[in-house]
Amino acid sequence: MSDLKSRFDAAVAHSKDLSERPDNMTLLKLYALFKQGSLGDNTDKKPGFSDMVGRAKWEAWNTLKGTTADDAMQQYVDLIESLS
């Protein structure tokens, strides 16, 4: 397992133990970086207008299209460290 992957996994585990809940925009960024780092580009169908939360998550992830998994994992780790 690469060093980055192990740091990413540790950051994911640590994200559940943050002292304060991040604001919604930060949560969306974390979600998008996690998905991009784990699964790559978003290929899911865009949710309809009635699913506002799903649509916001889809759009956040979709903005990272083309970002490498390693870059997304590093950004996720950096963001979690800045919130700690």
pLDDT in tens, 19-47: 899 999 999 999 999 999 999 999 999 99
pTM given for the model: 0.91
Q: Based on C-alpha coordinates, what's the Rg of the chain?
A: 13
Q: What's the pLDDT tens digit per position in 43-63?
A: 999 999 999 999 999 999 999
pLDDT score of 51: 94
Query: Can you list the alpha helix ranges (DSSP code H) found in 16-68?
Result: 24-39, 52-62
Quick check: 16 and 81 in contact, CB under 8 A? Answer: no
CATH of domain 3-83: 1.20.80.10
The token duo for 32 is 């998008």
| pLDDT surpasses 90 at 84 | no
3-state secondary structure (DSSP) of residue 83: helix
| pLDDT surpasses 60 at 1 | no
Per domain, the residue ranges of the chain are 3-83
